[in-house]
Structure 1
Amino acid sequence: MEERVLTAKGAATRQRIVDGAALLIREQGVVNVGLDDIRAATATSKSQLFHYFPEGKADLMLAVARREAEQVIAEQMPQLGDLTTWRKWQAWRRRVLKMYDEQRDGCALSALVGQLGLGDATTRQIVGDLLDRWLEYLVDGVEALRASGEIDRSVDPVRAATAILTAVNGGATMLVATDRITYLETALTEAIDDLRRPR
Structure 2
Amino acid sequence: MAEALTAKGRATRARIVAGAAEVLREQGVAFATLDDIRDRTGTSKSQLFHYFPEGKDELLLAVARFEADRVLEDQQPHLGRLDSWESWQRWRDVVVERYERHGDHCPLGSLFLQVGRSRPGARAIVTELMRQWQRQLADGIRALAANGLVPATLDADRTAAALLAGIQGGVTIMMSTGDSTHLKAALDTGIEHLRVMGAGVGARASGVRA
TM-score relative to the length of structure 1: 0.88
Q: How does 1:37-186 map to 2 (within 5 A)?
A: 37-186=36-185
Matched, 1:24 2:12: no
**Aligned partners of 1:105, 1:26: CA distance in 2, in Å?**
13
Distance 1:111 1:23, change over 3 A: farther
> In the comparison of the two structures, how many residue pairs are matched?
198
Residue of structure 2 in register with 1:4 after alignment: 4
CA-based RMSD: 2.1
Q: Deviation digits for residues 96-146 of structure 1, max 9, x if unmatched?
A: 111112222444543454554412111101110110011000111111112
Distance 1:111 1:82, change over 3 A: farther
Aligned partner letter, 1:102: R
Distance 1:151 1:108, change over 3 A: farther
**Aligned partners of 1:169, 1:176: CA distance in 2, in Å?**
10
Q: Residue 82 of structure 2 aligns to a residue in which SS? A: coil
**Aligned partners of 2:79, 2:25: CA distance in 1, in Å?**
24
Residues 83 and 144 in structure 1, CA contact (< 8 A), matched pair in contact too: yes
Deviation at 1:181, TM superposition (A): 1.1
Aligned partner letter, 2:16: I
Distance 1:2 1:79, change over 3 A: closer
Distance 1:5 1:83, change over 3 A: same
In structure 1, runs of 5+ residues without a counterpart are: none
**Aligned partners of 2:2, 2:42: CA distance in 1, in Å?**
26
Deviation at 1:159, TM superposition (A): 1.8
**Aligned partners of 1:181, 1:135: CA distance in 2, in Å?**
21
Aligned partner letter, 1:7: A
Distance 1:51 1:124, change over 3 A: same
Deviates more, 1:128-137 or 1:83-92: 83-92
Q: Residue 51 of structure 1 aligns to a residue in which SS? A: helix
**Aligned partners of 2:86, 2:120: CA distance in 1, in Å?**
39
**Aligned partners of 2:21, 2:10: CA distance in 1, in Å?**
16
Larger radius of gyration: 2
Residues 72 and 108 in structure 1, CA contact (< 8 A), matched pair in contact too: no
Distance 1:2 1:63, change over 3 A: closer
In structure 2, runs of 5+ residues without a counterpart are: 201-210
TM-score relative to the length of structure 2: 0.84
**Aligned partners of 1:112, 1:81: CA distance in 2, in Å?**
27
